[in-house]
Chains A and B, each alone.
Chain A
């Protein structure tokens, strides 16, 4: 190499050491401690809630995962997706079809009776299948994303779930080879996939009390959330994360330092799709109201869920991962308040909430709170705050700005 580096030798070893130290949570920043505290509180929630409330809250965990899925690709790389339900539906239907139309009939044919362990294994295989199907969907959207400008890509993401929806109807009775018993049309797959834990017979572990069922579902879902957090945190906090955000800023700059933007873009799509598909797949076996139907996986109006995850991620803070957790809490709270008072207006008020957040807290709650916290700490130390936090425009604003530029380019805006 032409340039000498001041870091010869066992960089790899030191790197592992540093990661280990981080994992031991030594000298962690305040916001990280608060984050861990928050996740800890989530873990304790079942101690406080009634079964019915708990079930509602379990759904919020899925909302968190769905929003994280959106954030990975849209929040980090700035490629706005308006149809993330595409991936959720692939994951949810993927596992249901894998289990009920392939694995169970196959094992039945072989004369195998499944005990608790066997059923669990079948369910896990289904989740893997659903995740893979969704990841494949990620490739399907990610590859055109390489050639399309932002607004055109958004159009593709908008149409993809609608096409999928239509295909559920077209192949309602039968999809040769892939889904021999069909995709169930608008009413969804009536044949529910088995649960990990449930009250009826269609479960790996049968329980007889409502609250045990609710608590078990909560913790399985919570475990899924931890997995999603670990994976997405790992990727976005590694160098790949800074490449993602650099793509959001300027693809040419990324290319000019020897990084292949195409590779990272596809990866972001596949990771996002896999995360969303995984969450939906787990939902089908552990969530509350776990029916594989279009209303659940696309939302009642076909696009509601896709829009909701955007609202959640934007409220919490785009490009942060943890923002999705906080955003989902806000969203669920607002949603239940609205549901209690003016249910007929749904889902408009929650969309409105997203717009309000964009206007007044464009960075989102988490980055805004971090900034505030830093100022406070600096003030307590007696520092002048200008040095502590420089005003950097938010991910949301930068993404929207770039998007507007691209639209202007497409329609030949005179402003250029």
Chain B
């Protein structure tokens, strides 16, 4: 695929990326489900400590792109580079160990244990014989993480007792607990109030201040304007625009993609 000479159309559409173009690079990423092309030769690069907005209407292929990048699904074609290395198709748990974690759009907390223990699991070493967990220091760390994402008051409750925003914070807390360098956050703002959006925005901004790189997915830009440095807009699995939030909102193709639907 990559060996094929660049046709005019393709060179026009995207340029090829190499392993060192960013901390996380996708090059010609493609995912097909049967006949459906969910991700259509998508290429992008994320720089260290950047907050990238990954935007597109529902069904555009955002979650699928994430699933391919993080090893949840193997991509049909294309390459993923992380920290300069080819990590295409490695298992999800290894990807986390490489330093990339993610949140899920559909929450799946462990209902059998309190919130803090959900976070604590993410701190468990991937080792069979370990003293970890015996001394209580991982619990202490898990509590600290809960406080930082705003779950301080509710960390001893079970996840089913949490409101929607609380679930989201739990997802975030679990992802943070794996100590990632890059974090992919899938639709964090859906269903949140303005205050809650603000609170989460601050959490993510502070993570960036501590050196983390973030990709934040949403189906529009409303909640993202104050947060992201750069936006990347896709539709039908392909990029349609890329730039600062201002550039994006003025882009005619983007406006057309959202025509008849909601505002960008």
CA distance A254 to B110 in the complex (A): 9
- Chain A, 252-274, CB within 8 A of any chain B CB: 252-261, 263-264, 267
- Chain A, 1-16, CB within 8 A of any chain B CB: 1-7, 11-12, 14-16
- Chain B, 119-142, CB within 8 A of any chain A CB: 120-138, 140-141
CA distance A241 to B158 in the complex (A): 19
Which residues of chain A are within 8 angstroms of B127 by Cβ–Cβ distance?
Answer: 240
Instruction: Report yes or no: A18 in contact with B210, Cβ–Cβ below 8 A.
Output: no
In the complex, number of A-B residue pairs with CB atoms less than 8 Å apart: 146
Which residues of chain A are within 8 angstroms of B102 by Cβ–Cβ distance?
Answer: 256
Q: Does A79 contact B (CB under 8 A)?
A: no
- Chain A, 224-250, CB within 8 A of any chain B CB: 235, 237-243, 245-246, 248-250
User: Chain B: interface residue count, which band?
Assistant: 35 or more
CA distance A258 to B140 in the complex (A): 20
Which residues of chain A are within 8 angstroms of B16 by Cβ–Cβ distance?
Answer: none
Flag the segment in A142-150, A169-177, A206-214, A390-398 that touches B: A390-398
Find B111's partner among A1, A237, A241, A249 (CB 8 Å cutoff): A249
**What residue of chain A has the Cβ atom nearest to residue B48's Cβ?**
A2
Instruction: Report yes or no: A240 in contact with B128, Cβ–Cβ below 8 A.
Output: yes
Chain B nearest CB: distance from A71 CB in Å?
A: 16
Instruction: Report yes or no: A15 in contact with B112, Cβ–Cβ below 8 A.
Output: no
**What residue of chain A has the Cβ atom nearest to residue B183's Cβ?**
A2
Instruction: Report yes or no: B122 in contact with A6, Cβ–Cβ below 8 A.
Output: no
CA distance A256 to B174 in the complex (A): 9
Instruction: Report yes or no: A390 in contact with B97, Cβ–Cβ below 8 A.
Output: no
Instruction: Report yes or no: B108 in contact with A255, Cβ–Cβ below 8 A.
Output: no
Instruction: Report yes or no: B134 in contact with A2, Cβ–Cβ below 8 A.
Output: no
Q: Does B248 contact A (CB under 8 A)?
A: no
Instruction: Report yes or no: A3 in contact with B176, Cβ–Cβ below 8 A.
Output: yes
Find A3's partner among B112, B126, B129, B179 (CB 8 Å cutoff): B179
Which residues of chain A are within 8 angstroms of B59 by Cβ–Cβ distance?
Answer: none
Q: Does A41 contact B (CB under 8 A)?
A: no
Chain A nearest CB: distance from B135 CB in Å?
A: 3
Which residues of chain A are within 8 angstroms of B210 by Cβ–Cβ distance?
Answer: 2-4
Which residues of chain B are within 8 angstroms of A17 by Cβ–Cβ distance?
Answer: 135
Instruction: Report yes or no: B92 in contact with A256, Cβ–Cβ below 8 A.
Output: yes
Which residues of chain A are within 8 angstroms of B211 by Cβ–Cβ distance?
Answer: 2-3
Q: Does A19 contact B (CB under 8 A)?
A: yes
Instruction: Report yes or no: B134 in contact with A18, Cβ–Cβ below 8 A.
Output: yes
Instruction: Report yes or no: B112 in contact with A393, Cβ–Cβ below 8 A.
Output: yes
Q: Does A52 contact B (CB under 8 A)?
A: no
Chain B nearest CB: distance from A389 CB in Å?
A: 12
**What residue of chain A has the Cβ atom nearest to residue B141's Cβ?**
A7
Which residues of chain A are within 8 angstroms of B111 by Cβ–Cβ distance?
Answer: 249, 392-393, 398
Instruction: Report yes or no: B133 in contact with A257, Cβ–Cβ below 8 A.
Output: no
Instruction: Report yes or no: A2 in contact with B112, Cβ–Cβ below 8 A.
Output: no
Q: A2-B180, A242-B120, A246-B121 are in contact. Are A260 and B126 (CB under 8 A)?
A: yes
CA distance A283 to B126 in the complex (A): 35
CA distance A237 to B132 in the complex (A): 9
Q: Does B63 contact A (CB under 8 A)?
A: no
Q: Does B177 contact A (CB under 8 A)?
A: yes
CA distance A241 to B129 in the complex (A): 10
Which residues of chain B are within 8 angstroms of A6 by Cβ–Cβ distance?
Answer: 140-141, 144
**What residue of chain A has the Cβ atom nearest to residue B182's Cβ?**
A2
CA distance A245 to B112 in the complex (A): 9
CA distance A238 to B131 in the complex (A): 6
CA distance A315 to B179 in the complex (A): 41
**What residue of chain B has the Cβ atom nearest to residue A23's Cβ?**
B134
Q: Does A22 contact B (CB under 8 A)?
A: yes
Instruction: Report yes or no: A246 in contact with B110, Cβ–Cβ below 8 A.
Output: yes
Instruction: Report yes or no: B122 in contact with A258, Cβ–Cβ below 8 A.
Output: yes
Which residues of chain B are within 8 angstroms of A267 by Cβ–Cβ distance?
Answer: 128
CA distance A264 to B178 in the complex (A): 18
Which residues of chain B are within 8 angstroms of A252 by Cβ–Cβ distance?
Answer: 108
Q: A2-B211, A242-B120, A390-B158 are in contact. Are A259 and B126 (CB under 8 A)?
A: yes
Instruction: Report yes or no: A250 in contact with B108, Cβ–Cβ below 8 A.
Output: yes
CA distance A308 to B130 in the complex (A): 32
Chain A nearest CB: distance from B217 CB in Å?
A: 16
Find B91's partner among A12, A255, A264 (CB 8 Å cutoff): A255
Which residues of chain A are within 8 angstroms of B91 by Cβ–Cβ distance?
Answer: 255, 260
Find A264's partner among B92, B128, B144, B174 (CB 8 Å cutoff): B128
Which residues of chain B are within 8 angstroms of A261 by Cβ–Cβ distance?
Answer: 93
Instruction: Report yes or no: A258 in contact with B132, Cβ–Cβ below 8 A.
Output: no
Chain B nearest CB: distance from A355 CB in Å?
A: 23
- Chain B, 195-252, CB within 8 A of any chain A CB: 207, 210-213
Chain A nearest CB: distance from B62 CB in Å?
A: 17
Q: A2-B180, A238-B130, A260-B91 are in contact. Are A253 and B135 (CB under 8 A)?
A: no
Q: Does B101 contact A (CB under 8 A)?
A: yes
**What residue of chain A has the Cβ atom nearest to residue B100's Cβ?**
A258
Q: A2-B212, A257-B101 are in contact. Are A239 and B138 (CB under 8 A)?
A: yes
Instruction: Report yes or no: A257 in contact with B112, Cβ–Cβ below 8 A.
Output: no
Instruction: Report yes or no: A3 in contact with B207, Cβ–Cβ below 8 A.
Output: yes
Q: Does B57 contact A (CB under 8 A)?
A: no
Instruction: Report yes or no: B110 in contact with A7, Cβ–Cβ below 8 A.
Output: no
Chain A nearest CB: distance from B31 CB in Å?
A: 18
Instruction: Report yes or no: A238 in contact with B134, Cβ–Cβ below 8 A.
Output: yes
Apart from A239-B130, A393-B111, 6 more pairs, CB < 8 Å: A1-B179, A238-B134, A239-B132, A253-B110, A257-B96, A263-B128
17 sample A-B contacts, Cβ–Cβ < 8 Å, listed by A number: A2-B181, A3-B210, A4-B210, A18-B136, A237-B134, A238-B134, A239-B125, A240-B127, A240-B128, A242-B121, A250-B108, A256-B101, A257-B121, A258-B93, A259-B121, A392-B112, A395-B112
